[in-house]
Amino acid sequence: MGNPKIHVNIVVIGHVDSGKSTTTGHLIHKLGYIDNHVIESLFKLKGYFISGFERDNLVEPSTNLGRYDGPTLIEALDHLKLPVSMREIHKPLRIRIHGFYKVGGIGNVPVGRIVTGYLTPGMVMNFAPTGLQRKVKSVKIDGEVLLSVAFPGDFVGLDVEDVAAKDLQPGYVASNSNNDPAMGAADFTSYLIITKDPGMIQTGYTPVLDCHTSHIAVEFSGKEIMIPAKPMVVEAFSQYPPLGCFVARDMRQTVAFGVITYVTKLTSIEEDDQSI
């Protein structure tokens, strides 16, 4: 019987990002406790090799990573293709407006992110809740003019004629005027989870609701129905998830959060003599 080995637990203590796991990994490797076939197999996997500790292959290629000749981390991120749900593409178009910027010779250019549907130049946009309609002359992504189509997840700029700043407020929603256009909400019903005193949520209570890019006060009617204090665009979570979840705040504190289950939409849309 050989000499028994004493087991010792080593605790590595350090601040966040101080190199605890890096030091431990180097120690195990240097002592030969990682088989060579494990290292060899890593080179056969599809992945990106970097060293945050040595800053190798983050932005510029490094010669310190053995036989690895793949892209740097930045190059890999630049060419990353995220999957787009076909289910979201086939839904009616919804673009949550983040704001606008002014371009010389063009005017106000609304910008926002596509959450469902697809966008092509030539579409007639409906801007809710005002009901303003304008034809899209061109679409820009990252400052470049798009020639074909934009999909959910794309952050786009819309080149449309004669749009006033008041019609491009954050929280507005753009949609295809010919396919289930977005409308303002008269009221909506929600499934609510209360995080503060439940007694606060009652008829007449008026917190601020953060829903997509919209931040508007709503008045409770009971514990489930909310009435916006001013024009607001929301959708049922089951149809348009990014436009149907919210957080309710009061005095900068979260009092509740939830999802919208039903929307009573405004029946009248403001007509514009200069539409299209």
Query: Does residue 151 sit in the same domain as residue 167?
Result: yes
Residue 195 lies in a domain: yes
pLDDT digits (tens, 9 = 90+) for 113-147: 999 999 999 999 999 999 999 999 989 887 778 77
Last residue of a domain, one of 125, 149, 176: 176
Domains contained in the chain, number: 3
Query: Does residue 222 sit in the same domain as residue 157?
Result: no
Confidence tier at 9 by pLDDT (50, 70, 90) = low
Residue 198 pLDDT greater than 80, yes or no: no
Burial 125-148 (b: 16+ CB within 10 A, else e): bbbbbbbbbbebeebbeeeeebee
Residue 104 lies in a domain: yes
Last residue of a domain, one of 79, 113, 128: 79
pLDDT at 43: 55
Q: Is 241 helix (H, G, I), strand (E, B) or coil?
A: helix
Q: What is the share, in percent, of the chain residues with pLDDT greater than 70?
A: 82
Query: Does residue 215 sit in the same domain as residue 244?
Result: yes
pLDDT at 273: 39
pLDDT digits (tens, 9 = 90+) for 74-100: 777 677 665 667 778 889 999 999 988
Q: What is the pTM of this model?
A: 0.67
Query: CB of 133 within 8 A of CB of 140?
Result: no
Q: Following DSSP, what letter does each residue of 161-173 receive, concatenated?
A: SS--GGGS-TT-E
Residue 272 lies in a domain: no
Residue 169 pLDDT greater than 70, yes or no: yes
Q: Which two tokens stand for residue 30?
A: 């240097």
Confidence tier at 47 by pLDDT (50, 70, 90) = low
Q: Residue 97 contacts by C-beta under 8 Å, 6 or more apart in sequence?
A: 110, 111, 112, 127, 168, 169, 170, 171, 172, 173, 174, 213
pLDDT digits (tens, 9 = 90+) for 205-256: 999 999 999 999 999 998 889 999 999 999 999 999 999 999 999 988 899 9
The boundaries of the domain holding residue 211 are: 185-265
Average pLDDT over residues 8-29: 74
Query: CB of 182 within 8 A of CB of 128?
Result: yes
Q: Residue 138 contacts by C-beta under 8 Å, 6 or more apart in sequence?
A: 121, 145, 146, 159
Last residue of a domain, one of 176, 203, 234: 176
- Pairing state between β 144-146 and 208-211: unpaired
Query: Does residue 150 sit in the same domain as residue 201?
Result: no
Residue 237 lies in a domain: yes
Residue 49 pLDDT greater than 70, yes or no: no
> In whole angstroms, what is the distance from residue 129 CA to residue 172 CA?
6
